[in-house]
Amino acid sequence: MQIGRLDRRIVIEKNTPVKDSHADPEPSWSTLATVWAEKVPLRGTERFQSQQTLAQADFRFRIRYRSDVTPKHRIRIGTEIYDIISVLEIARKHGTEIIAKMNVA
């Protein structure tokens, strides 16, 4: 992993549910970490469903090694939200590779 390629500032968020007015759990996202990352597009798809076009794009993010990132988390870059699909260790804790998808309605 080349450190110079980590040129994007990303926010890794974790779900910390809060109770709404009816005491039902409601998703609420808080910051787990803000890190530098390399963002690489992998593939994109587009389909027509329920009279609307749905697009999905898959990306690979590479960051310095972190053991606390899981598919239960998500990534945010500005207003863009990416759902984490998988998290892989790179070369004996040299880095972390995250595969994530972004859904666009």
Largest CA distance in the chain: 49
pLDDT at residue 95, as a whole number: 94
Residue that the structure tokens 């910390």 belong to: 16
User: What CATH number is attached to the domain comprising 85?
Assistant: 2.40.10.270
* pTM for the predicted model, two decimal places: 0.82
Across 7-19, average pLDDT:
92
Report which of residues 48 and 73 the model is more confident about. 73
Q: Which domain holds residue 53?
A: 3-104
Alpha-carbon distance of 58 to 103, in angstroms, equals 9
Alpha-carbon distance of 105 to 32, in angstroms, equals 26
The model's pLDDT over 31-53, given as tens digits with 9 standing for 90+, comes to 999 999 999 999 877 666 666 66
Report which of residues 54 and 79 the model is more confident about. 79
The structural domain count of the chain equals 1
Count of CB atoms situated within 10 Å of the CB of 98: 25
pLDDT at residue 75, as a whole number: 97
